[in-house]
Amino acid sequence: MDELHDAAVDTQAEAAGDPTGETPAPADSAESHLAGTASAAAADDGILFLNEYLYENHLLTNFARMQTSGGRRTLLLVVGIACIAGGIAWLVMDTRLGWLGIIVAAMGAYLLWHRAHMRHSYARHYIDAMEKDPTSFGDRYRRVAVSDEGLMVFARDGRSRYYRFRDLSRVQQDDLMHVLQFGLDGVCVPRDSFVRGTDAEFERFLAALPQGRHHRRG
C-alpha cells in the first residue's frame, strides 16, 4: 500500500507540470496516467489480495462456530452416545461393578454437554483473550496480504505471521467469511473487507489451489 501511495503522489506531482514553465498535462490525461501507475504498482508488489478488518465479537463468534463444526462435533456425538449406551449395558449386566458403568455413562453425558456448548465456550475464550490482552498481536486489527505463494497477517504494530499455501490443510467458508486452516492456526478473511481484489475473485483463487479439494461450507 505504501508503493501505491508513493505512486499516486509522484503522479499527482507530474500532473501539476514542470516548474520550468512547461504546460501542465490535461486533466483527463493526468487521471488516466494516475490510474495506470497505480495499477502497475499494485501488480509489481506481488500482492493479489488485501483484506483489512477489526476482529469484532461477531467475527470471533462466527470463527469459533466454524472451528468447532464438522468432524469434531460428529466424533463427540458418536463417542458420547457410545459411552452412555455402554455404561448402561455394563450397569445392567454386571451389578457388582455397576459403579463403573455409571462413570462411563456420566462421561458420555459430559461429552454430549460439551458438544452442545463448545461453540459458545470457544467464542467466549477468543473474546476474553482479546479483552484481557489488547496488545496481543496488535489489538483486534488484522491486515491480510495474499500472494501466489501464501499470505501474511499483519498486526497494527507491524508484527506479522506468514503462512505458505503448501501448508494449507483446509478451507471453510460461509456467508460471512473464509477460514484458512494452517495446522492449528486459522486465518479469518471476512468477505466484506477486501481493499484489493474482490471476494468473488478470492473464492476463485482458493478453488484453484491444489488444496481446493478441502473446501467446505461452514
- Residue 37 domain-assigned (yes or no): no
φ/ψ (deg, to 5) at 140: -90, -5
Q: 181 with 120, same domain?
A: no
What domain range includes position 169?
A: 49-55+142-217
Quote the CA–CA distance of 150 and 185 in Å, as a whole number: 14
Counting the structural domains of the chain, the total is 2
The separation between CA 187 and the C-alpha centre of its own chain, rounded to angstroms, equals: 3
Residue 36 lies in a domain: no
pLDDT for residue 70 is more than 70: no
Longest dimension (CA), the chain: 105
pTM of the model: 0.58
CB of 112 closer than 8 Å to CB of 12: no
Q: What is the pLDDT of residue 217?
A: 57
Q: What is the CATH number of the domain that holds 195?
A: 2.30.29.30
Q: Which helix (H) or strand (E) covers residue 92, if one does?
A: helix 71-93
pLDDT tens across 88-127, in order? Answer: 888 788 777 777 888 888 998 887 887 776 777 776 666 6
Of 132, 166, 184, the last residue of a domain is 132
| CA separation for the pair 56, 152 (Å, rounded) | 20
pLDDT tens-place string over residues 15-63: 334 333 343 344 444 334 333 433 444 556 789 999 999 888 888 787 7
- 171-202 residue pLDDT tens: 889 899 999 989 888 898 999 999 999 999 99
Question: Do 154 and 126 reside in the same domain of the chain?
Answer: no
